[in-house]
Structure 1
Amino acid sequence: MNKFLIIFVICIVNLITMLKKIFRRKVKDEIKVTIGARHNNKPLFKSSFIQKWYAKDFSLERWIEELRMLQNVGIEEIILQSIVDTKNKEAVYNTMLEGFVSSENDMIKSALDAAEYIGIKVRVGLGESEDWWEKGWYDFKWLSEEADINKKIVNEIFEKYGDHKAFGGWYIPYEFSEFFITTKSQQMNLNLFYKSITEEIKSKSKNFSIMIAPFFSSNRFKIGSVGLWKKIIQNVLVDTSIDIVSLQDSIGVGYNTFENVSALFYYTKQATDALGITLYADIETFDSTEKGNIPVDLKKILKQMSEVYCYVDGFVAFSINHFQNKNEENQIGNYNNYLEYYNKIKIEELFEKITQNI
């Protein structure tokens, strides 16, 4: 009996392996159809995230230094990941929200003023709470209250900075994954949560795009689950007025691998295309280790970008500011490697332009 059981298990494992190979082959075949349409999408970063713990005390001069560093490698937009800790009621700007504490330095104003001086844009993130990871997937009352707080933040930010020349758009920091939304009820609750915030944003101005950055973990991968992710994306984001999905590749943190990340972006693109949403790749420029997150070398970053570039309209780094930063002594080499690569691409583009005009 044990012998037959072992044979049965082996057959099941072989079947699953075969199905995965067929699935990957199907995706790779369809890549050939889309790759031509993405010919002009060079694997270069256009945006980079920065977190408030790192930048909240930057002076104007320090912001100028930081943003000039980004501009020198083609970064056109800095994303302030979040500006308010809604749980601890702490803001990194001069807030008038009842019960909230302001930081001594107005991080938003400093970033905007520096960006205007340099000539790049700032995408402003909203509030976030560590309770999101505990309550965001089941507690609709908490979601409603959190949406209300963020609508107040939207109004305050728009009133203070909405006319600033460097103000470039909005970022909603509440990141969802497949774990959050396994049921239709969860998907509907999250849809209403995002709608509540985005309707407030668009009521102020339709000129600024809204970005979110969900993620998917293949550690919970099941046959067909990536295909189900396509339906989840559509159910959660339908009619939300979200303009950009910057999907985390999650390779640095170890949730995905080079073997499955292409399929993830393949199905996500099907969903975003159906919704009329632009798809970006949020590339993790670090590796998670027992000692914390550490920078990865350029070769790995470029491989991450090459796996998904045929599906996306842009690349966002997480993060040049935190892992390839010229202003941090132990990261100068990482920055210089990317700078050399960026300059090489720009020279190639210039050469192509010249030869086309001959």
Structure 2
Amino acid sequence: MKRITGSWFDFYHCNPYEGDTWNAATQQFSVNDWDAKIAEMAEAGMDTLILLSVALHGKAFYPSDVMPLRWDMLCPDPLEAVLTAGDRLGLSIYLGLGFFTTPIMGSLSLEGDPSPIAREMAKELASRYGRHTSFAGWYLPVEAAIYGGYFPENYIYYANQMSDFLRALGPSKVLIAPYGTRSVKGDSAFITQLRFLDVDYIAYQDEIGVSRTTFEAVRETFLRLREAHDLADKPLWADIELFRFQGKVLYPGSVERIIRQIEVVSPLVDKTLCYQYHGLMNKPGSKAHAGHESSIELYQGYMDYVRSKGLL
């Protein structure tokens, strides 16, 4: 059994409905608030953090010369704030290279070369923040959609082109997090795709939060993935979904459900990430609370569980 050791976070959630319970709070975070939130996640056992995106709808979350339009944030440079906190705490932080367009996923055919804006933003990020020891790599937020058991070929082209470009800039690690996990075949054709897919880490969404599968099916899927990744000689990561939908808004799932997700998936993978601590968990009395009050209950239940199992 493995505890959750990584999480996504965002400066403003890419879907304003989904992030309705925390977007307003996050926009008002100061430098000290971001330091406190990152420290809170580290205290909960997170050593790896993935920023969902560095921009959204043509506006950057940091002072950018490439994309002059800015999101209205109290913190003058939240990216500098979280990387500085990550340096202090010894964390690995991956920067989400998006979302630059509307709609946010853009076009793989346009972005896969990669696009000029992706190139320029990546160059700027590497130049501006490359000194940070916590800046461990890149996350490609244009999600892979596994259909009919396999990665689309145009996605593999996109990911490989991006990886080649990003590794030349540094840092060198690249992470993706596919959905459609439930359809994975795990056969020789899929293994061939894994060998050709030039990314370092693949964190598959468990799809429990979106109610697209069952716990039994998740176990069978990750068993297939474990065998395929071993044969392809690639690490296997999981992205378990902490949320539930209430209408269009994301709220914390029940403690019992999250524990079962951990117990089903974590023994089969090398690392367990979650989507996401930020907004869905808050330590009681948090100096930087962001999310519904039920996030405290999920935090307490999860921490009680990992301590009872000797996982923290």
TM-score range, shorter chain: 0.7 to 0.9
Whose helix fraction is larger, Structure 1's or Structure 2's? Answer: 1
Residue 288 of structure 1 and its aligned partner are, at CA, apart by: 2.0
Compared CA separation, residues 111 and 311, structure 1 to 2 (3 A)? same
1:254-293 maps to which residues of 2 (within 5 A)? Answer: 254-290=211-247, 292-293=249-250
Separation in 2 of the partners of 1:132 and 1:234?
Answer: 30
The structure 2 residue matched to 1:214, chosen from 178, 195, 211, is: 178
Residue 246 of structure 1 and its aligned partner are, at CA, apart by: 0.6
Instruction: Indicate the residue corresponding to 1:200 in structure 2.
Output: 165
SS at structure 2 position matched to 1:227: coil
Separation in 2 of the partners of 1:233 and 1:125?
Answer: 26
Preserved contact between residue 252 and residue 281 of structure 2 (Cα < 8 Å) = yes
What CA deviation, in whole Å up to 9, does each residue of 1:129-171 have, x standing for no partner?
45365744xxx2x234664422222211111111212212221
The structure 1 residue matched to 2:189, chosen from 221, 231, 234, is: 231
What CA deviation, in whole Å up to 9, does each residue of 1:238-265 have, x standing for no partner?
4443111010001011122112111222
1:299-314 maps to which residues of 2 (within 5 A)? Answer: 299-314=256-271
Separation in 2 of the partners of 1:43 and 1:92?
Answer: 33
Percentage identity across aligned positions?
24
SS at structure 2 position matched to 1:278: coil
Structure 2 letter corresponding to 1:333: E
Compared CA separation, residues 165 and 126, structure 1 to 2 (3 A)? same
Higher relative contact order at CA 8 Å, sep ≥6: structure 1 or structure 2? 2
Compared CA separation, residues 147 and 256, structure 1 to 2 (3 A)? farther
- TM-score (norm: length of structure 1): 0.72
SS at structure 1 position matched to 2:212: coil
Separation in 2 of the partners of 1:233 and 1:172?
Answer: 21
Preserved contact between residue 181 and residue 205 of structure 2 (Cα < 8 Å) = no
The structure 1 residue matched to 2:272, chosen from 315, 333, 353, is: 315
Compared CA separation, residues 251 and 110, structure 1 to 2 (3 A)? same
Preserved contact between residue 259 and residue 302 of structure 2 (Cα < 8 Å) = no
Residue 61 of structure 1 and its aligned partner are, at CA, apart by: 0.4
SS at structure 2 position matched to 1:127: coil
In the comparison of the two structures, how many residue pairs are matched? Answer: 289
1:35-74 maps to which residues of 2 (within 5 A)? Answer: 42-53=1-12, 54=23, 55=26, 57-74=28-45
Residue 83 of structure 1 and its aligned partner are, at CA, apart by: 0.6
SS at structure 1 position matched to 2:309: helix
Separation in 1 of the partners of 2:260 and 2:192?
Answer: 28
Instruction: Indicate the residue corresponding to 1:110 in structure 2.
Output: 81
Instruction: Indicate the residue corresponding to 2:19 in structure 1.
Output: none
Compared CA separation, residues 230 and 333, structure 1 to 2 (3 A)? farther
Compared CA separation, residues 165 and 290, structure 1 to 2 (3 A)? same
Separation in 2 of the partners of 1:228 and 1:339?
Answer: 34
1:75 aligns with 2:43: no
SS at structure 2 position matched to 1:310: helix
Preserved contact between residue 251 and residue 257 of structure 1 (Cα < 8 Å) = yes
Preserved contact between residue 198 and residue 240 of structure 1 (Cα < 8 Å) = no
Moved more, 241-250 or 296-305: 296-305
Preserved contact between residue 175 and residue 214 of structure 1 (Cα < 8 Å) = yes
- TM-score (norm: length of structure 2): 0.82
SS at structure 1 position matched to 2:174: strand
Separation in 1 of the partners of 2:96 and 2:68?
Answer: 17
- Structure 2: where are the runs of 5+ without partners? 13-22, 284-288
What CA deviation, in whole Å up to 9, does each residue of 1:301-335 have, x standing for no partner?
11112212232011111111121122246022221
Preserved contact between residue 122 and residue 168 of structure 1 (Cα < 8 Å) = yes
Compared CA separation, residues 121 and 59, structure 1 to 2 (3 A)? farther
Compared CA separation, residues 67 and 268, structure 1 to 2 (3 A)? same
Structure 2 letter corresponding to 1:93: Y
Separation in 1 of the partners of 2:113 and 2:55?
Answer: 15
SS at structure 2 position matched to 1:299: helix
Instruction: Indicate the residue corresponding to 1:353 in structure 2.
Output: none
SS at structure 2 position matched to 1:49: strand
The structure 1 residue matched to 2:156, chosen from 185, 191, 212, is: 191
Moved more, 122-131 or 300-309: 122-131
Separation in 2 of the partners of 1:257 and 1:78?
Answer: 27
Separation in 2 of the partners of 1:338 and 1:190?
Answer: 35
Larger radius of gyration: 1
Instruction: Indicate the residue corresponding to 1:122 in structure 2.
Output: 93
Structure 2 letter corresponding to 1:270: E
The structure 2 residue matched to 1:95, chosen from 59, 64, 76, is: 64
Preserved contact between residue 115 and residue 166 of structure 1 (Cα < 8 Å) = yes
Residue 118 of structure 1 and its aligned partner are, at CA, apart by: 3.5
1:154 aligns with 2:122: yes
